[in-house]
Amino acid sequence: MQIGNFITYLGVLAIVNFIALFPRRLVLRVADAVGSLIFVLDRAHRKVALTNIRIAFPEFPYERARAVAQKSFQNMCRVVVELIFTPKIIRQGKI
């Protein structure tokens, strides 16, 4: 393994372990906020999402398409959180 990849791995591992220290509900709320922020800042992917929604659901008004797109960005962040918490949930016997 290259040293740069190993350092990146250690950084990601540290972030994941830090996030796992907080209550899952709180982190999910933060994930929603981060998803909304990414939606606002990432113009290129926002445009792709809106285009895809308009193709799939041409009857949606722009406001609804925008809301669905923003929710999908939030959901992607929530999926990351759920992946981080999955080992903890399994250890607690909740799955």
Find out whether 53 and 64 touch, Cβ atoms under 8 Å.
Answer: no
- Tell me, what amino acid is at 78? R
At residue 45's C-alpha, the angle toward residues 11 and 8, to 5°, is 10
pLDDT at 14: 97
Average pLDDT over residues 76-90: 93
**Which residues contact residue 72 at a Cβ distance below 8 angstroms, ignoring those fewer than 6 apart?**
49
Q: Please write the tens of the pLDDT for every residue from 3-50.
A: 999 999 999 999 999 999 999 999 999 999 999 999 999 999 999 999
Q: Model-level pTM?
A: 0.85
